[in-house]
Structure 1
Amino acid sequence: MKEKFWGPQEIIRKKKEYIIPCLYHFYQEPMQLVKGEGQYLFDHTGKRYLDFFAGVSVINCGHCHPVITERICRQVKELQHVCNIYLTQPMLELAEKLAAITPGGLKKSFFCNSGTEANEGAALLAKIATGRNEFLALRDGLYGRTYLTMSLTGLRFWRTDTAPAGGISFVPNPYCYRCPWRLEYPSCDLACAEEVRQVIESSTSGEVAALIAETIQGNGGIITPPPEYFSRIREILKEYGALLIIDEVQTGFGRTGKWFAIEHYGVVPDIMTMAKALGNGVPIGVFTALPEIADRYTRPGASTLGGNPVSMTAGLATLEVIEKEGLIQNAATLGAYLREKLLELKEKHPLIGDVRGIGLMQGAELVKNGKEPAAAETDRILELMKNRGILIGKNGRYRNVLAFQPPLVITKDNIDEVSANLDEVLTEVES
């Protein structure tokens, strides 16, 4: 059975020959993954790995969930594809369900194929609705691979285009651990939010279409805003007639212990983007808006594959599993436990400078000599944990943040396993 697998070295060889070299991979000694089941992945040798990254916050219901898989297979056999210019039921069923679970009056959706597309579409909708062309974006944000979304991205690591789009001004993100003013919350009075007003006044025409922000910045390093942050941002944007676009591509569908992370902040955005976990591995994206904004978009805007019956069925099945299996509550309960274990490790290990996040979206920033980013140590920890059969992620401005974003089906024992192994690995690296 194993003979059918090429193995890591042959895959790397063919990758160099046939794949554009912008596509990197984790690990100095990578494995070939061939199977997934629940919170586990398996390589071509049969070795099992506890997946604590979930394909970058995608597999919320676990790998190859039998209910979702069965529904997808059934739909493929009945109707795999028609363009969304034709009438099909699954797209409307999913749109109606999203209207029911998204916050406030968000109601009207447009389906596409990825988070990048969703953010691009949300930006277009904001321009149409306001008649304006300028945008604000948070530093350390990541919004996609297209020309505009890459230009909106505030991480140099992901800004490949050498001639980004104009009309974009960046505002400070709520990175409390590395506050540029060297203030502390709450005595800072949210200086980072107040700076939005100054940027509008000094760096724009004053006619801003929207500010786009991830509720929690994933690739930025699990940057988690203070509780009042988005309320303050909302007030400032309202003064200038600008919209709020919230990106829930990584944070959505139960990960933070609520359907959407923005619910923790009591703010309803004008437009919200979603992807990743909605399909539990099937490509899908969507932007949803308040009707008074959505209804301004009237010129033709079909998508060949957006809204296709298979992706829509996967989305519907995923939402059903999240509800029936209590995965949102599991994320809240086990997220609190995971945070507790990470804070215990922080007290024991000087490499951990900060722990932040909500629910099962937690990050541990690794530093040395004060707050110097420990990027090399982060890579080594990932490698050693992988060798022990545990996969965690990394992100951050300096690529020095350990990211814990597991499937929401994990157990308390899984967290104990990760914590115990990470404790030993940190001790080894620190020595």
Structure 2
Amino acid sequence: MTDRHRALHARHRAVMPDWLSLSYDEPIELTHGEGRHVWDAEGNRYLDFFGGILTTMTAHALPEVTKAVAEQAGRIVHTSTLYLSRPMVELAERIATLSGIPDARVFFTTSGTEANDAALLLATAHRRSNQILALRNSYHGRSFSTVAVTGNTAWSPTSLSPFQTLYVHGGVRGHGPYAALSDAGFIAACVADLEDVLGQAQGTVAALIAEPVQGVGGFTSPPDGLFAAFREVLDRHGILWISDEVQTGWGRTGEHFWGWQAHAAAGPPDVLTFAKGIGNGMSIGGVVARAEVMNSLGANSISTFGGSPVTMAAGLANLTYLLEHDLQGNARRVGGLLIERLRAAAAGLPIVHEVRGRGLMIGIELVDADGAPSPRAAALTLEHAREQGLLIGKGGRAGNTLRIAPPLSLAVTEAEEGAAALEAALRRTQQDLAAGGPERKDRP
């Protein structure tokens, strides 16, 4: 670690919580970016394959977004939802139409955690029940309510809960008791599990909250059609479906604009939550719901910072750029090339259990010589990739899955460059583990 980074790290440790994770044994400060690249405080340039946790959706320093932010900031920065806001209404109109939810209403928040929190409030108020269905291995945020429906114990620091949460199978295709089944068999088994869990519920269940692709869980997903099969059961009981699109939305999976559309026979969810990429780094989250559900709150509510004029201007410019440049199509095309390149690179590496994903949302699951999850392999590869000039993320229940999610404007040449860097990093990790190489702290 350089003196500059070392000094800032010491100051960070002195004032920040111990549980606030930093990537890398020697953390770095990112000072600026352009396109798909960022630079640290020492001038080192990196190809960014994580986008600030799937948040820099279009590009770093996208001129259209920075111009919109600057112009709006020059007029007025803040008003709150107590006043009419043209940028907020315009962005809400576009999102309501894109959501596919009929008679949709939109409420803006400042994060995905807050969006999911609001969705849970709506569902429990509408259904008059605090019973929630969630998937095992899921992640929905860091607030008290969202931790309470998070099925990934690595990100659930308390057992206290405002809900009775009932966890069902379905989020992880490659592990667990149904892994050996065909896709049809897997769906049937998960539906039977859902029916069994509902048979143990005490009266009314409010909602199922589910990520179409589990993000923090390691980019795992069920076979297409699972949520359509779930929906048949939910509808019989009047249970709402909340689709957590915080990581899967805006075309990142390539094939669809929203993750729920891979299960399109179900029709749109009752409630959809979003965040991350829509702001391209600005703090935007939100909830879309049928008017009947959204309007079910019987008390006053506002948002001080949700729907801020500056963030709404950024979201409008970013969404316009995404649609006009068909970044969903680019995610499908370039993401398809990248995942095949990574699968070819991993073919001869025993540490790679699986390369999976859709579009520009790719996970590489790593294991040890016995086939057990290897968080050490993931931590080593994270370090080696950085040394190769590539930034990636890490997740999975055991912390053994590399997460790859570049900006959706990624070029083919950049995909090839990143794949080559990641292949070199994986090969070095394979050599380190075979030789009993250096220990690394297991950081996310």
- CA positional deviation for 1:221: 0.8
User: Secondary structure in 2 aligned to 1:177?
Assistant: coil
CA RMSD after TM alignment: 1.6
CA distance in 2 between partners of 1:327 and 1:152 (Å): 32
- Deviations 1:334-354 (Å, cap 9, x if unpaired)? 111112112212322121111
- Deviations 1:300-326 (Å, cap 9, x if unpaired)? 110111111111111111101101222
**Which residues in structure 2 correspond to 1:212-361 (within 5 Å)?**
212-257=209-254, 258-266=256-264, 267-361=267-361
Equivalence for 1:42: 39
CA distance in 1 between partners of 2:359 and 2:325 (Å): 17
Contact 1:98–1:107 (Cα < 8 Å) also in 2: no
- Deviations 1:192-251 (Å, cap 9, x if unpaired)? 23311111112x214100010011000011011101111011111112110000000011
- CA positional deviation for 1:410: 0.9
Equivalence for 1:147: 144
Between the two proteins, the alignment pairs up a number of residues equal to: 426
| TM-score (structure 2 length as normaliser) | 0.93
CA distance in 2 between partners of 1:147 and 1:106 (Å): 30
Q: Tell me which of 171, 174, 187 is aligned to 1:174.
A: 171
- CA positional deviation for 1:96: 0.3
1:151–1:106 CA distance, 2 compared to 1 (3 A):
farther
**Which residues in structure 2 correspond to 1:35-114 (within 5 Å)?**
35-105=32-102, 107-114=104-111
Contact 2:225–2:262 (Cα < 8 Å) also in 1: no
345-354 vs 222-231, which deviates more? 345-354
Contact 1:394–1:401 (Cα < 8 Å) also in 2: yes
- CA positional deviation for 1:187: 5.2
**Paired residue type of 1:300:** N
- CA positional deviation for 1:104: 3.8
211-220 vs 18-27, which deviates more? 18-27
User: Secondary structure in 1 aligned to 2:158?
Assistant: coil
Does the alignment pair 1:380 with 2:380? Answer: yes
1:92–1:166 CA distance, 2 compared to 1 (3 A):
closer
Does the alignment pair 1:194 with 2:192? Answer: yes
Contact 2:168–2:197 (Cα < 8 Å) also in 1: yes
User: Secondary structure in 2 aligned to 1:41?
Assistant: strand
Equivalence for 2:116: 119
**Paired residue type of 1:118:** A
Equivalence for 2:180: 183
1:326–1:305 CA distance, 2 compared to 1 (3 A):
same
User: Secondary structure in 1 aligned to 2:367?
Assistant: strand
Contact 1:115–1:249 (Cα < 8 Å) also in 2: yes
**Paired residue type of 1:365:** E
Structure 2 residue runs without a partner (length 5+): 432-444
Q: Tell me which of 161, 180, 186 is aligned to 2:158.
A: 161
- CA positional deviation for 1:182: 4.4
CA distance in 2 between partners of 1:206 and 1:352 (Å): 45
CA distance in 2 between partners of 1:19 and 1:192 (Å): 42
**Paired residue type of 1:333:** R
- CA positional deviation for 1:424: 2.3
User: Secondary structure in 1 aligned to 2:183?
Assistant: coil
- CA positional deviation for 1:259: 2.1
Contact 1:53–1:405 (Cα < 8 Å) also in 2: yes
CA distance in 1 between partners of 2:257 and 2:173 (Å): 25
- CA positional deviation for 1:184: 2.3
**Paired residue type of 1:238:** D
Contact 1:133–1:209 (Cα < 8 Å) also in 2: yes
Equivalence for 1:424: 424
CA distance in 1 between partners of 2:363 and 2:419 (Å): 13
Structure 1 residue runs without a partner (length 5+): none
CA distance in 2 between partners of 1:401 and 1:231 (Å): 28
Contact 2:394–2:402 (Cα < 8 Å) also in 1: yes
233-242 vs 253-262, which deviates more? 253-262
Contact 2:152–2:217 (Cα < 8 Å) also in 1: yes
Contact 1:211–1:243 (Cα < 8 Å) also in 2: yes
Equivalence for 2:441: none
CA distance in 1 between partners of 2:66 and 2:325 (Å): 16
1:352–1:242 CA distance, 2 compared to 1 (3 A):
same
- CA positional deviation for 1:6: 7.7
CA distance in 1 between partners of 2:40 and 2:178 (Å): 46
1:112–1:104 CA distance, 2 compared to 1 (3 A):
closer
| TM-score (structure 1 length as normaliser) | 0.95
Contact 2:138–2:171 (Cα < 8 Å) also in 1: no
Contact 2:134–2:167 (Cα < 8 Å) also in 1: yes
Equivalence for 1:364: 364
- CA positional deviation for 1:162: 4.4
User: Secondary structure in 1 aligned to 2:299?
Assistant: coil
CA distance in 2 between partners of 1:382 and 1:63 (Å): 21
CA distance in 1 between partners of 2:428 and 2:281 (Å): 35
Q: Tell me which of 1, 6, 9 is aligned to 1:9.
A: 6
374-383 vs 362-371, which deviates more? 362-371
Contact 2:351–2:369 (Cα < 8 Å) also in 1: no
CA distance in 1 between partners of 2:151 and 2:168 (Å): 9
343-352 vs 134-143, which deviates more? 343-352
**Paired residue type of 1:14:** R
1:63–1:167 CA distance, 2 compared to 1 (3 A):
same
CA distance in 2 between partners of 1:374 and 1:242 (Å): 38
339-348 vs 371-380, which deviates more? 339-348
- CA positional deviation for 1:101: 1.1
Q: Tell me which of 135, 139, 149 is aligned to 1:138.
A: 135
Percent identity over paired residues? 35
- CA positional deviation for 1:357: 1.5
Q: Tell me which of 12, 17, 30 is aligned to 1:20.
A: 17
